[in-house]
Amino acid sequence: MVHRLKLVPIQKWPEIRSLLKLYLPRSIAGQNFLKTREEIEKIGYGYKAEVYCPDGDASNGIVALNVKDKLCEVNIQCPKYDTGKLEEALRTTEVIDWTKCVKLIYAQKHVMQCMMKAIRDKNIAIKEVIPSVTFVKYNNDPLFDVSLPKGYSFEALTLKYVDMNSFYEVIIQCPNNDTTELEEALKTTKVIDWARKLEVPFAPKNVRDCMERIINERNYTLQYIDITDTFILKRNATPFNMRLAPELSFKLLTLHYKDTVNNAWPHKYPGSDWYFELLIKANLGYGLFKGDELISWVFIKEMGALGHLYTLEEHRRKGYGELVLKLISNVLLNEGKYVVAFCIKGNENACKLYKKLNFENVQVVYWCNFIGN
C-alpha cells in the first residue's frame, strides 16, 4: 500500500505559508500554526510537531500533528474545497495513531466532512464536536490606544510563574509541646517561600497553634484547616487472609492510568498529574483490576501514609474499597512497615472501615492551608 502523506521538513514550511496566505482569512489557523511552530523551533525548544502533505503537495492539504503526551492534536487544512486526495491520504496513512485520543482542531466544514469519510471504516468513536467562531484582527489594522493604570505592567512570562498555582507543602513536626524555638526559626527563615499558597499537612496540635500565631502576626490569609484522625495498623499485626476471585488482580499501576486517577481525584489542582506520575514511577500506586479494567486504586503517599483510595462509581457498594485496603495493608505489613491512614473528621464510612479492620485511632492532626503575602 502506498502511503501518500509525505513529511515536509521545517525548511519548506514558509512555502506552505505563502500558499495558505492566498486563502486568508479561512486559512488563518494553518498559517498561524506554522509560523508559531517555526518560532518555537528557533529558540531550540524540542516539541513533537510534524507537518505532512498528500503526495508532498500543500495544495492538496496539510496535516500537522501536535503530540501532547497521550493526546494527539491533528490540525488539517485544505486550500481547495476538493478534498479527494486528502481523504485518500488520511484513509491509508499510518502517520496518525488512531488508537490514541485524537483531537481534530480548527477544522473547516469541508475538512470535517473529509475526515468523517476517511474514518468511516475504522470503527472510531466520535466523542464530541465543538463548533466555534473564528474572530480575526488583521495585522494592518491600527493598534489599540492602551494606557495601563499606575503600578501595572504587561510583560512576557518567565518560568518563575509556572508553579504559582502548584502545590507547596511544608511538613512541620515538633516532638516538644513547647514550640518557641521552632516558631522563631520559622519567622526568620528564608527557606520557605511565604509568598506562595502553602499547606502544612498532618500537623499535631502544638504545630497547628504555632502556625496560627505566625499567620495572625503576619496577616496571612488562612483558607481552611482540615481535621483528620490518624489510624494505624501496627507493623506486627497479622496480615489479612486474602483470596481474590479469578477475574480480579491487584498490581502496581503504570503511567497509562495517571490521567484516570488524576481526573477522578476531587482535590486535583494544576499540576497534580505530575504528583501521580511521581508516585506511580516510585512504585507507590496499586490498582484492583477486573480483567483488564481498573476499578479501584490506592496510593502510598510520599510521607508513607495511605491515600487516594478510590473506587469507580459503577463499581461501588461491592466491597472493593475494603478489599483494596486489606491488600495494600498486606503489602506494607509484609515489608515490616506500619500502615497509616488519615481520615477526615465526619467521614463516618471510612472511619468505620478502619475500625472494622482493627486500625487504632491514635491522634488528631490538622492540615493548615493558607496564603502568604
pLDDT of residue 321: 94
Cα–Cα nearest to 300, from 343, 357, 259, 339: 339
Q: What is the pLDDT of residue 272?
A: 83
Counting every residue written for the chain, the total comes to 373
pTM of the model: 0.58
| CA 84/CA 352 separation, integer angstroms | 64
Judge whether 323 and 357 are in contact, CB under 8 Å. Answer: no
Segment 200-210, tens digit of pLDDT: 999 999 999 99
- Output the nine-digit C-alpha cell for 247: 477475574
**DSSP conformation class of 245:** -
pLDDT per residue as tens digits for the range 71-116: 778 889 998 899 999 999 998 888 888 777 788 888 889 989 998 8
Q: What is the CA radius of gyration of the chain?
A: 28
Reference 66, options 37, 91, 31; nearest CA is 37
Measure the CA–CA gap between 195 and 102, rounded to whole angstroms: 40
Q: Measuring CA to CA, which residue among 33, 173, 50 is closest to residue 105?
A: 33
Alpha carbons 77 and 349: distance in angstroms, whole number? 54
Q: Residue 46's pLDDT is what? A: 58
Give me the pLDDT at residue 127, please.
78
Q: What is the pLDDT of residue 154?
A: 84
Q: Supply the pLDDT for residue 308.
A: 93
Cβ atoms within 10 Å, residue 231: 24
Residue (of 52, 126, 120, 123) closest to 89 by Cα position: 52
Instruction: Name the one residue in this structure whose C-alpha cell is 485520543.
Output: 101
What is the model's pLDDT at position 324?
97
Q: Select from 327, 353, 352, 354 the least CA-distant residue to 340.
A: 354
Domains (range + CATH), the chain? 5-122 (3.40.630.30), 162-221 (no CATH), 248-371 (3.40.630.30)
Q: What is the pLDDT of residue 131?
A: 83
Report the pLDDT value the prediction gives residue 310, as an integer from 0 to 100.
94
Instruction: Report whether 273 contacts 267 (CB < 8 A).
Output: no
- Give how far the C-alpha of residue 333 lies from the chain's centroid of Cα atoms, to the nearest Å: 31
Cis peptide before 149 (omega within 30 of 0): no
Alpha-carbon distance of 206 to 285, in angstroms, equals 32
In this prediction, the residues of the chain whose per-residue pLDDT falls under 70 are 1-2, 44-48, 68-70, 137-139, 157-167, 373
